[in-house]
């Protein structure tokens, strides 16, 4: 393939990363955040992703853009091993979280997923639980004990930008909220277990513009102290919320990363013609 | 809305009643009904059709013809529409008639057997052909409750766990398990009774517990199959969300999947219970019958409502038959009450 030699690594010297040194181990400077090296994915015999090496610097937002069917969502699932629930899925390559390989033989998958939260395309609060129970569901599911549940509840809902709207009806069912509120509830639910990384799979594609705006504001605020990866079909959204962008493309074969760089570069002066065509809306 | 949307018009906006499709007005219905009634009466008088069923049959046919002719006064589409409406209504009525007829017959015939003491006495000092107003079915009611309770305790957990194995664990044997469960639902109830007779009763004795085992065998496939369908309805997204929150499969199943499917699982259990509540054949071979009130479920026969009905029916005298009808009325009410309780439980504490 012609782009086998493209260097896909994003430089990790952005301003956000510089301020976010709180969780840094001295010995691991530079390996903070999330990295993938040579990731391939197969569904059965079907090769869907080829040689994806990307860096997701800590405390930044990275947008994964590209047309449908190019493997963005699959790649996102590889980042917290959720693709393993798809029958026939297999992967090769390495994924590092804060310098540690998450596919290592001694890794406890459920403990790893606590550090890598996920928000899905369709809002999906647990229907059998109230709003408050939904937010704290992760603690219950993973058997985590917390001293002050009320303040954690308020903190998570505030960070997800939902506290003011629901503080008087925490005892109501999660499905009584509007779609946009439900999605922010799902974000609050993901935040409660204090993940270092938040993966979002087209989090706004089922929402109206006003709700989308609120979720985007939430994403930008959250990126102050966590690493966020967002899959999106909406290029304006990628331009609005992300610090870095990776452009995925499949020309009938397995999906590859055509170009990965700062969002400003991808949208103003991309080095690959296909990226330029895509971000300017000429295809996809 | 109303004060902002009509700034230029000086009259107040009145809420309008929601638009409804009124279909046919009552007056439109009277004429074809009377006409069809007259035609049907003539048909019954003139031809070989006779009795209420004959009249009903003639009436439905006549109604279809009348509504077709009535519709043809407008156009063909209207005519077909009317005929289809009549057919659907007739189908509903035809299904409704046996249901109402059974209820009516049971309660009419059984009414004279039922008095307050019917629920507090047993048949220890009363024979089936003694006059009404003596004895009762407290023993059968309590026996049925005990047997069904034990059968539920055995069959519902096993049924739900079986369904969990098929839908959540998705083990290598889940296909085989599904086939076995499916074929189990085809086991005739008398065969289940014979099986328990051979394995339990022949070694120990007739007992309520043996009856419960035979009913549990019949309940299990219904509970498992229905639970499987219910669990399949739980969105895959919810499981993914739980896993993404760092939940184990155990936590996901017990804290997310089962609570989400709760009301459906209760319905599945009720369907299983309804399947066996009136079973008589397996009880003849397992719990048998006793005329005496007892809470002992092992070592001796235990009465049940279906067996009470069967026993009195076998006696065959007028009063015994009335007692059998009374037992049937109680059995129907008993199942009905079980369903209401389950509905309330299914709705649950939420909301």
Burial group, residue B18, by CB count within 10 angstroms (0-12, 13-18, 19+): exposed
pLDDT tens digits, B13-23: 777 777 666 65
Half-sphere exposure in the Cβ direction for A167 (13 Å, CA): 11
H-run or E-run covering A40: strand A34-43
Q: What is the arrangement of strands in the sheet containing A34-43, beginning at the earlier edge strand?
A: A46-56, A34-43, A89-97, A100-101
Which chain A residue has its CA at the smallest distance from B254's CA? Answer: A141
CB contact under 8 A, A186 and B241: yes
Tokens of A281: 């809306």
Task: Pick B235's closest partner by Cβ from A124, A140, A189.
Answer: A124
Cβ neighbours of A189 in B, within 8 Å: 241, 245
CA dist A201 and A123 (Å) reads 11
Rounded Cα distance, B234 and B264, in Å? 10
Distance CA A197, CA A115 (A): 6
Following CA atoms B9, B10, B16, B19 in sequence, which dihedral angle do they give, to the nearest 10 degrees?
-20
Decide if B189 contacts B282 (C-beta within 8 A).
Answer: yes
Contact B238 A126 (CB under 8 A): yes
Does the distance separating the beta carbons of B240 and A126 come in below 8 Å? no
What residue in B sits closest to A80 (Cα-Cα)? B244
Residue in chain B nearest A87 by alpha carbon:
B170
Neighboring chain A residues of B243 at a CB cutoff of 8 Å:
82, 85, 110, 113
Contact residues, chain B, for A114 at CB < 8 Å: 245-246
Note the pLDDT of residue B42: 84
Neighbours of A278 (CB within 10 A): 23
**What is the spatial distance between Cα A108 and Cα A277, in angstroms, rounded to a whole number?**
42
User: Which residues of A are less than 8 Å from B350 in CB distance?
Assistant: 128, 173
Smallest CA–CA distance, residue A5 to chain B, in Å, is: 34
Residue-level pLDDT at B9: 57
Q: Distance between alpha carbon A245 and the CA centroid of its chain, in Å?
A: 12
Q: Please write down the HEC assignment for all residues of A232-266.
A: CCCHHHHHHHCCEEEEEECCCCCEEEEEEEEHHHH
Residue B282: predicted pLDDT: 94
At A94-119, the pLDDT tens digits run: 999 988 899 988 889 888 999 999 99
**What is the structure's pLDDT at B29?**
74
* Chains A–B, number of C-beta pairs less than 8 Å apart: 82
Q: Are strands A89-97 and A34-43 parallel, antiparallel or unpaired?
A: antiparallel
Tell me if A137 and B259 make a contact (CB, 8 A cut-off): no
Q: Are the Cβ atoms of B245 and A111 closer than 8 angstroms?
A: no
The percent of chain B in helix, strand and coil, each rounded to the nearest 5, is: 70, 0, 30
Give the whole-angstrom CA distance, residue A97 versus residue A104: 11
DSSP letters along B158-203, please?
HHHHHHHIIIII--TTHHHHHHHHHHHTTS-HHHHHHHHIIIIITT
Alpha carbon distance B276, A224 (integer Å): 62
pLDDT digits (tens, 9 = 90+) for B164-173: 999 998 888 9
Helix (H, G, I), strand (E, B) or coil at A282: coil
Q: Which positions in chain A touch B255 (Cβ < 8 Å)? A: 137, 140-141
Contact B241 A124 (CB under 8 A): yes
Query: Can you tell me the distance from the alpha carbon of B272 to that of B291, in angstroms, rounded to the nearest whole number?
Result: 27
Confidence of residue B102 (pLDDT cuts 50, 70, 90): very high
CATH 1.10.3720.10, chain B: domain bounds: 138-347
Contacts with B328 (C-beta within 8 Å, 6 or more apart), sequence order: B106, B110, B309
Domain ranges in chain A are 2-279
Look at residue B307 in the predicted model and tell me its pLDDT.
93
The predicted-structure confidence for B116-147, as pLDDT tens digits, reads as follows: 888 888 888 888 787 888 888 899 999 999 99
> Cα B45 from chain centroid?
39
Residues of chain B neighbouring A173 (CB-CB closer than 8 A): 350-351
Q: Which residue has the tokens 């308020």?
A: A154
Is residue B265 within 8 angstroms of chain A, CB to CB?
no
Classify the C-alpha dihedral A145-A149-A153-A155 as positive or negative: negative
- B241 in reach of chain A (CB within 8 A): yes
CA count, 13 A, side-chain hemisphere, B160? 21
Confidence at residue A262, expressed as pLDDT on a 0 to 100 scale: 92
Please tell me the distance from the alpha carbon of residue B341 to that of residue B334, in angstroms, as a whole number. 11
Which pLDDT value is given to residue A246? 93
Give me the residue from B238, B243, B245 closest to A190, CB to CB. B245
**Residue B98 reports pLDDT greater than 60:** yes
Contact by Cβ (8 Å): A144, A193: yes
Helix axes B208-232, B174-184, angle to 10 degrees: 130
Q: Which CATH number fits domain A2-279: 1.10.357.10, 3.40.50.300, 3.40.50.20, 1.10.645.10?
A: 3.40.50.300
Round to whole Å and give the CA distance between B67 and B57: 16
Give the CATH class of B138-347.
mainly alpha
**pLDDT averaged over chain B?**
86
pLDDT digits (tens, 9 = 90+) for B237-282: 899 999 999 899 999 999 999 999 998 899 899 889 988 988 999 9
Judged by CB atoms closer than 8 Å, whether chains meet at B246 and A186 is answered as no
Residues A124, B350: C-beta atoms closer than 8 Å = no
Q: What is the pLDDT of residue B121?
A: 87
Where do runs of H (alpha helix) occur along chain A? 15-19, 72-78, 109-115, 131-135, 137-141, 149-159, 163-166, 179-191, 209-222, 235-241, 263-268, 273-279
pLDDT class of B7 with cuts at 50, 70, 90: low
**For residue B236, what is the nearest residue in chain A, using CA coordinates?**
A124
Share of chain B above pLDDT 70, in %: 93
For residue B129, the Cα-to-chain-centroid distance in whole angstroms is 32
C-beta separation of A61 from A230 below 8 A: yes
Give the distance from residue A15's alpha carbon to the nearest chain B alpha carbon, in angstroms.
Answer: 29
Q: CB within 8 A of B335, min separation 6: which ones?
A: B274, B277, B278
- Extract the residue ranges of chain A whose pLDDT is less than 70: 1-31, 284
User: For A126, which of B246, B248, B256 is closest by C-beta distance?
Assistant: B256
Chain A residue with minimum CA distance to B240: A82
Spatial contact of B301 and B290, defined as CB atoms under 8 Å apart: yes
pTM metric for this prediction? 0.77
Q: What whole-number distance in Å separates Cα of residue B235 and Cα of residue B237?
A: 5
Name the β-bridge partners of A94.
Answer: A37
With an 8 Å Cβ cutoff, the interface of chain A facing chain B consists of: 80, 82, 85, 110-114, 116-118, 120, 122, 124, 126-129, 137-138, 140-143, 173, 186, 189-190, 193, 199
Average pLDDT value for residue range B6-15 = 64
Angle between helices B262-277 and B138-164 (to 10 degrees): 130
């Amino acid at each position: 393939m012609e782009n086998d030699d493209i260097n896909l690594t994003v430089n990790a010297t952005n301003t956000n990363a510089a301020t976010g040194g709180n969780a840094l181990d001295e010995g691991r400077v530079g390996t903070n955040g999330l990295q993938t090296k040579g990731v391939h994915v197969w569904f059965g015999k079907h090769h869907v992703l080829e040689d994806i090496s990307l860096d997701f610097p800590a405390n930044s937002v990275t947008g994964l853009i590209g047309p449908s069917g190019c493997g963005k969502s699959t790649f996102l699932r590889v980042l917290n091993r959720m693709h393993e629930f798809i029958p026939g899925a297999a992967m090769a390559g390495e994924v590092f979280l804060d310098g540690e390989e998450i596919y290592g033989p001694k890794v406890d998958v459920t403990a790893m997923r606590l550090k890598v939260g996920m928000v899905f395309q369709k809002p999906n609060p647990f229907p059998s639980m109230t709003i408050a129970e939904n937010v704290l569901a992760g603690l219950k599911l993973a058997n985590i004990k917390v001293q002050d549940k009320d303040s954690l509840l308020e903190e998570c809902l505030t960070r997800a930008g939902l506290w003011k709207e629901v503080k008087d009806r925490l005892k109501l069912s999660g499905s009584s909220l509007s779609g946009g509120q439900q999605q922010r509830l799902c974000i609050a639910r993901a935040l409660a277990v204090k993940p270092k990384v938040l993966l979002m799979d087209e989090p706004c594609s089922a929402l109206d513009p006003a709700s989308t705006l609120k979720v985007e504001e939430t994403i930008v605020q959250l990126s102050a102290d966590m690493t966020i990866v967002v899959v999106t079909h909406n290029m304006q959204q990628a331009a609005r919320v992300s610090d870095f962008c990776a452009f995925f493309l499949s020309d009938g074969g397995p999906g590859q990363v055509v170009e990965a760089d700062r969002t400003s570069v991808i949208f103003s002066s991309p080095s690959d013609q296909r990226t330029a065509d895509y971000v300017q809306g000429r295809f996809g | 809305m109303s004060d902002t949307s009509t700034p230029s018009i000086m009259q107040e906006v009145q809420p309008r009643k929601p638009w409804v499709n009124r279909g046919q007005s009552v007056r439109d219905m009277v004429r074809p009904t009377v006409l069809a009634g007259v035609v049907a009466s003539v048909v019954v008088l003139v031809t070989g059709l006779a009795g209420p069923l004959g009249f009903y049959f003639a009436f439905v046919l006549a109604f279809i013809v009348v509504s077709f002719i009535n519709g043809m006064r407008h156009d063909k589409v209207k005519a077909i529409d009317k005929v289809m409406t009549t057919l659907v209504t007739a189908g509903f009525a035809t299904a409704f008639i046996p249901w109402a007829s059974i209820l009516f017959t049971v309660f009419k015939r059984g009414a004279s057997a039922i008095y307050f003491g019917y629920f507090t006495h047993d048949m220890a000092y009363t024979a089936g052909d003694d006059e009404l107003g003596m004895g009762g079915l407290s023993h059968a009611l309590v026996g049925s409750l005990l047997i069904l309770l034990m059968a539920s305790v055995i069959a519902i957990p096993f049924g739900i766990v079986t369904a969990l194995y098929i839908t959540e664990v998705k083990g290598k044997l889940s296909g085989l398990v599904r086939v076995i469960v499916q074929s189990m639902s085809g086991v005739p109830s008398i065969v289940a009774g014979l099986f328990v007779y051979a394995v339990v009763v022949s070694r120990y004795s007739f007992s309520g517990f043996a009856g419960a085992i035979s009913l549990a065998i019949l309940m299990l496939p219904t509970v498992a199959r229905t639970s499987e369908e219910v669990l399949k309805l739980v969105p895959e997204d919810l499981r993914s969300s739980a896993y993404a929150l760092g939940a184990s499969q155990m936590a996901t199943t017990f804290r997310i999947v089962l609570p989400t499917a709760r009301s459906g699982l209760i319905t599945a259990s009720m369907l299983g219970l309804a399947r066996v509540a009136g079973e008589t054949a397996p009880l003849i071979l397992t719990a048998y019958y006793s005329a005496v009130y007892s809470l002992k479920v092992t070592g001796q026969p235990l009465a049940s409502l279906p067996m009470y009905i069967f026993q009195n029916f076998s006696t065959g005298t007028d009063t015994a038959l009335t007692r059998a009808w009374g037992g049937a009325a109680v059995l129907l009410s008993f199942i009905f009450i079980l369903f209401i309780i389950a509905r309330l439980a299914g709705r649950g504490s939420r909301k």
